[in-house]
Structure 1
Amino acid sequence: MTLGVRGLVIDERGRALLVKHGYVPGWHLPGGGVEVGETFEAALARELAEEANVVVEGSPILHGLFHNRRVSRRDHVAVYVVRRFRVIGERAPDREIVAARFFALDALPPDTTRGTRSRLAEVVEGAPISPQW
């Protein structure tokens, strides 16, 4: 089984943090795999720091657990909402992360992934939660 974690990071202006990877198309919620012996929250903090120079302050809130069949039949993702954080500097692009930016929810890039849009709608607009990514 593959376990992953994503952060739905929302700033004080109501904008969401998205990342663009160098190896897959589209804009995504930041996150990645959970390492052996690592908690979901520790993995979230590590991934947000690595992908966007974001330091989590306080406890993130678990939004839900999702099955991501597009990646594999065994891929499961925990999504946390993060509203208390600080950005410790702009993230320089590299081969893994091309860009990390905050976007107004009514001005998301056209290539924002369907799963990302679904999670945002669930959290911000109260859309029904789907167990599928």
Structure 2
Amino acid sequence: MVKPEDAFRQTGWAGLRARLFHLHFVLRRPMTLGVRGLIHDMASNSIFLIRHTYVPGWQLPGGGVEVGETLAEALARELAEEGNIALTSPPMLKSMHFNRRASRRDHVGFYVIEHFSQTAPKLPDHEIAEACFFPLDRLPEKTTPATLRRIAEVFDGEQPSPYW
């Protein structure tokens, strides 16, 4: 059985030319893509934040999307690595942001997660200095500005910024 998307797949010279153009654009205009997740424990009205060992401030967990990985797969991997958190239902993509502080080509997919489990508290390691849940009314003093903007967009109805 032929898949519907195969009807649009270019083959032969046209397919090779399309792949060469794609390679040219990858080399000429490389772009990075990341994910971040706001994990909301509705029972305690708290959110999960991390503090890295190599950058200051408390922030939402997340990281880069690897080659061949979907945004949702990257998010699930990063949440497991940075917080021992497993998704129990699909996360909700809230917004996309241009992260001009990281580079001129970096974008971040921002997800809201309300259905999850934590297999164990996250212990410090070489990447994560601290990780824990904080009540929304008692966030740590050194929460990053981008994290505070995302929280305001989710809980205070602020208009999502196009910038991270």
TM category, shorter: over 0.9
- Report whether the alignment pairs 1:6 with 2:33: no
- Report whether the alignment pairs 1:60 with 2:91: yes
**Counterpart-to-counterpart distance in 2, 1:25 and 1:16:** 19
What is the DSSP-based 3-state SS (H/G/I as helix, E as strand, rest coil) of the residue aligned with 1:70?
Answer: coil
Q: Share of identical aligned residues, percent?
A: 55
Aligned-residue offset at 1:107: 0.9
* Counterpart in the other structure of 1:127: 158
- Report whether the alignment pairs 1:109 with 2:128: no
5+ residue gaps, structure 2, are 1-30
What is the DSSP-based 3-state SS (H/G/I as helix, E as strand, rest coil) of the residue aligned with 1:65?
Answer: strand
Pairwise CA RMSD: 0.6
Q: Which runs of 4+ in 1 moved over 6 A?
A: none
Structure showing greater relative contact order (alpha-carbon pairs closer than 8 Å, 6 or more residues apart): 1
Q: How many residues align?
A: 133
Match of 1:81 among 106, 112, 127: 112
Alignment of 1:9-28 (within 5 A): 9-12=39-42, 13-28=44-59
Q: TM-score, normalised by structure 2?
A: 0.80
5+ residue gaps, structure 1, are none
Letter paired with 2:108: V
The structure where helix makes up a greater share of residues is 2
Letter paired with 1:108: L
Q: TM-score, normalised by structure 1?
A: 0.98
- Structure with bigger gyration radius: 2
**Counterpart-to-counterpart distance in 2, 1:125 and 1:9:** 16
Aligned-residue offset at 1:90: 1.1
